[in-house]
Structure 1
Amino acid sequence: MAADIFHRDFKAAPWWWEWWHPSNALSQDPPRKTDVLIVGAGYGGLSTALELRRGGIDAVVLEKGDFGVGASSRNGGMVSGGVNLGKGISGKSRDADGWQARKKALLASGVESMTAIEDIIAREGLQAHYIRHGRFMGAFTPAHYADLAGKVDDFNALAQAGAEMLPRERQREAIGSDYYCGGMLVERAGHLHPACYYGSLLAAAHKAGAVLCAQTEALAYERKPGGGYVVRTSKGAIEATEVVVATNGYTGDVTPYLRRRLVPVASHIIATEELPDGLPETLIPNSRAVADTKRVLTYYRLSPDGKRLIFGGRARFTQAPPQVSAPVLHRYMTDRFPQLKGVKITHAWTGNVAFAFDWLPHMGRTPDGLRYLMACNGNGVAMMTYLGRETARKIRGGSNAPANAFDTDDFPTRRFYNGDPSWALPVVGAWYRFRDWWDRRAA
């Protein structure tokens, strides 16, 4: 029975919160005026504020709830550069003319995103439990393996990935499982503790002089005739020369232009109880990060203390209670690691990621001048940090060097899409599950 998988001390909350819990300890009352007002206190918003303050520019950050209650303390903590752009650089529906140059630029910016987060961790002395031990991308079918093999040269030449293919007979060098049909081992990748990273980044932004305002919701905004904005919040109006929106998977009706360009999708994660001594390192040697090529993807890694498995994926494409999502993830986990049958779950949780219709991250300006950074397609730890830094640098100096390929005016939407995909996501999920089943059966 599904109930048998839950530990007696089970919590419907992120395991990460056992180390750092969302808090309002650094919250301040918002001022009536600032240089830059940032909506959203996730990685992107805090990175923007930190970089602005390093340049002497006033920054106020609004958080609708508690600091860290959103995706920044709920994700898997995986970090990579370039190779995680996935469908955004596949070129399957791209115009061949000029696409190779565009792909080169995108991969270069992906590389820079990982450099950016490593630089910030080192510069600020952040306690992020960061390790760079690589990532294994498991191929769900032989055709997926061939597709990965066709990308290795580009990843190595353009993304400095240090990638190599591991055929099925060598797969156990990377993972203690026979579930996949081989896969790609990427050297330039790692993982961190997302909540500890967030808490350290929050403290760094506060120390730098950013005004951080929890429980402060942005309700509406208008442009001032002479330039700048007035933003109405739950704690009063704020005047700002610039407004930056960094709400990603939690973007709401206040910015309908952005909401229509984002598809929020729920990602679900479980944490196992502490595993017997010696078992964790046989599951994932060298504590690498792992993901796979399924349409209904999974991603997993060992906890920073090396005692449990953190296992995530699309148990549902929408929000669902642990009683629904956890048994699905537990089954996915034991499909890959039969040796974990009988292991209990101590934590289960969910959070929103945001996808763009072109599968690429985006930063830029709305038609009415708001700056934004978002749509990291489930890979936002490094990317949101990077886009925040890049947005701040544009505000400080007007340009980025090297050029940021995600800073464009092309942020697509779809006709009749209003920003609420809830009616379609169950259908998409069912179709993806069927395609995965068929691909495996036909392989």
Structure 2
Amino acid sequence: MTTARQIGPGGNANLWAPDWSDTSYWLDGVSAPEVPQGSLPPEVDVVVIGSGYTGLNAAIETARGGRSTLVLEAGAPGMGCSTRNGGQISTSIKPTLSKLAARHGQARAEAIRAEGRAALAWIEERIRTEDIDCDFRRAGRFHAAHTPAAYEGLARDAEVLRRTEGIEVEMVTKAEQRRELGTDAYHGAALFAQHGALHPAKYLHGLLRTAMEAGAQVMGHTPAEAIASGQGGHLVRTPRGTVRARDVIVATNGYTTGTTPWQQRRVIPIGSYVIATEPLEKDLMDRLFPTDRIASDTCKVVYYYRASPDRTRILFGGRVSAGETDTTISGPRLHHDMCNIFPELRGTRISHSWMGTVAYTFDELAHCGTHDGVHYAMGYCGSGVSMASYLGMRMGQKVQGLAEGRTAFDDLPFPTRPFYTGRPWFLPAAVAWYRWRDARQRHQAQALPG
């Protein structure tokens, strides 16, 4: 735990609650299942590398399918972005149908877009059938336009989505937006009524418990250091020894390392930063989030925010610097940006400031498949709660040879760039440019008459 008194020169101690924490708000008061640390088995059917949403959903499938399953985690189980995200659930597919059709043809494009809707429906069913208490609900998303031009673009996109994909979307004008969100900072929004929300850590811990009850062995603080593949299967080396596996599933997403260099060259790790406010008065929360939607906006460097499940705090996330930074630096910047949207919050303090690492891809699509005999699913581009879970489940089916394991993402080209090795040297310049452009567009929109 870090306190405001430890903040260095230039920090504003008045922004920080006296007992503020640099750990995820979602972990407060949530007990993880006890994970027995037995010995490393010499041989299993399946090794899953990573204990987030992807890895645990894969492990549930393989263990229930009768495969001896070992989940390896470099840190504590579930301590990656699966317990550090905003808890927002969308249909996960960023490229539009027309963009995907231009790349992959109309039929494949429609199938990819349909997978996003399937993932959202599937995670609701997974939570229900496994009886995971994680505050899941179809909250609806208020996707706000940061400029009038962005609103017009949302309106055009909404018409296409309704007509071509049957997606439920309603346009909310600037004059109407306070019925949904207590701010005048935006120029209207698109309302996606079917999008959802959950408590990330409760969901993760429910998956962890389910995987272990299914028979999977989970080993924390046991990183996979190397994978040697051959005709007889795979040898996975760890600090505790080497385990032989018939199948390996790589489920590391934003935490992918040189252990799997082919995958590392194809994902871009990006830090996403979040703060939680101290508890707020009920009437203030009711004014700011009258319908309890989750929210995001059309800035290229997007903000995402929501009320906590108990409606006592606001959780506000985004990227606030060109490069990676410390949460004592990101916290005040996020607070500043939050107050630009909600000026009433200027006197509130930060109770939590944390970050997690997501993985983007060069084509803005998730990817799953097999390379050199190793299965993988990753690259959720910041929208991975449902898609990571869904593709993890499909990977578990695929390992068992089940036809239903196939997805529209299978065998898609997984692009990289020349000389890229997994260290995104280009990211600071790109983020700085997009942040400047977002700010310039907002400034120009504020200068428009009326």
| TM-score under structure 2 length normalisation | 0.92
Quote the residue 2:408 is aligned against. 405
2:354 to 326, 349, 352: 349
Mapped partners of 1:160, 1:381: distance in 2 = 22
Q: Is the 8 A contact 1:267 1:316 kept in 2?
A: no
Residue in structure 2 matching 1:430, options 432, 444, 447: 432
Determine helix, strand or coil for the equivalent of 1:137.
strand
Q: Is the 8 A contact 2:101 2:107 kept in 1?
A: no
Q: Which residue is equivalent to 1:193?
A: 199
Within-5 A mapping of 1:253-272: 253-272=258-277
Structure 1 residue 430: Cα displacement: 1.1
Runs of 5+ in structure 2 lacking a partner? 1-10, 446-450
Q: Give the corresponding residue for 2:226.
A: 220
Whether contact under 8 Å (1:289, 1:301) holds in the other structure is: yes
- 2:62 is aligned, of 41, 52, 61, to 52
Deviates more, 1:388-397 or 1:132-141: 388-397
Does the CA-based 8 Å contact 1:22-1:69 persist in structure 2?
Answer: no
Structure 2 contact 143–296 (Cα < 8 Å) conserved: yes
Q: CA deviation at 1:98?
A: 5.7
How far did residue 158 of structure 1 move? 5.6
Q: 1:287 Cα shift? A: 1.4
Q: 1:64 to 1:383 in 2, by over 3 A?
A: same
Pairwise CA RMSD: 1.8
Residue number in structure 1 paired with 2:376? 372
- Gap change, CA 1:23 and 1:339, over 3 Å in 2: same
What amino acid is the match of 2:417?
Answer: R
Distance 2:72 2:303 in 1: 32
Quote how far apart the aligned CAs of 1:349 are: 0.1
Contact 1:28 1:212 in 2 (8 A): no
What's the offset of the Cα at 1:52? Answer: 1.4
For 1:335 and 1:268, locate their aligned partners in 2 and report how far apart those are by CA, in whole Å: 17
Cα deviations by residue, 1:376-411 (Å, 9 ceiling, x for unpaired): 00011111100011111112234337x522222410
Q: Which residues in structure 2 correspond to 1:9-408 (within 5 Å)?
A: 9-20=19-30, 25-81=35-91, 84-86=92-94, 88-89=95-96, 91=98, 96=102, 99-157=105-163, 160-224=166-230, 226-366=231-371, 368-400=372-404, 404-408=407-411
Q: CA-to-partner distance for each residue in 1:277-324, whole Å, 9 max, x for gaps?
A: 222122112211100110121000111111110100012354322221
Matched AA of 1:133: A
Aligned partners of 1:319 and 1:350 also within 8 Å: no
How far is 1:160 from its partner? 4.8
Paired residues of 1:222 and 1:231 also in contact (CA < 8 A) = yes
Segment drifting more, 69-78 vs 146-155: 146-155
Contact 1:111–1:159 (Cα < 8 Å) also in 2: no
Change (3 A) 1:394 1:153: farther
Residues 33 and 208 in structure 2, CA contact (< 8 A), matched pair in contact too: no
- Match of 2:93, as an amino acid? L
SS, match of residue 317 in structure 2: strand
Q: Aligned-pair distance for 1:31?
A: 1.1
Letter of the 1:75 counterpart = N
Aligned pair in 2 of structure 1 residues 370, 195: CA closer, same or farther (>3 Å)? Answer: same
Deviation at 1:441, TM superposition (A): 3.3
Distance 1:355 1:193 in 2: 23
User: Whole-Å Cα distance in 2 between the matches of residues 119 and 2 of structure 1?
Assistant: 45
Q: Provide closer, same or farther for how the CA distance between residues 156 and 19 of structure 1 changes in structure 2, counting only shifts above 3 A.
A: farther
- How far the C-alpha of 1:153 sits from its partner, in A, is 3.4
* Contact kept? 1:266, 1:316, Cα under 8 Å: no
Give the deviation of 1:169 after TM superposition: 1.0
Structure 1 window deviating more from structure 2 (11-20 vs 236-245): it is 11-20
Return the letter of the residue paired with 2:414: F
Q: List per-residue Cα deviations over 1:170-218 (Å, max 9, x = no partner).
A: 1112111111110100011111000011011100100111111111110
SS at the partner of 1:9?
Answer: strand
Q: Percent identity?
A: 40
Scaled by the length of structure 1, the TM-score of the pair is 0.94
Aligned pairs, how many? 435
1:103: how far off? 2.7
Give ranges in structure 1 of 5+ residues lacking alignment. none
Give the match's secondary structure for 1:264: strand
CA contact (8 A) 1:221 1:231 kept: yes
Rounded Cα–Cα distance in structure 2 between residues aligned with 1:194 and 1:95: 33
Displacement of 1:91 in angstroms is 4.6
Mapped to 1, the partners of 2:60 and 2:102 lie a distance apart of: 39
Residue 439 of structure 1 aligns with which residue? 441
Task: For residues 55-82 of structure 1, give each alpha carbon's deviation from its aligned partner in whole angstroms, at most 9, with x where no partner exists.
Answer: 222211000110121111000011122x
CA contact (8 A) 2:369 2:410 kept: yes
1:132 match: secondary structure: coil
Contact 1:23-1:66 within 8 A present in 2 as well: no
How far did 1:32 drift? 1.0
Residue range with higher mean Cα deviation, 268-277 or 139-148? 139-148
Matched letter for residue 48 of structure 2: I
How many angstroms does 1:26 deviate by?
4.0
CA distance in 2, matches of 1:179, 1:26: 50
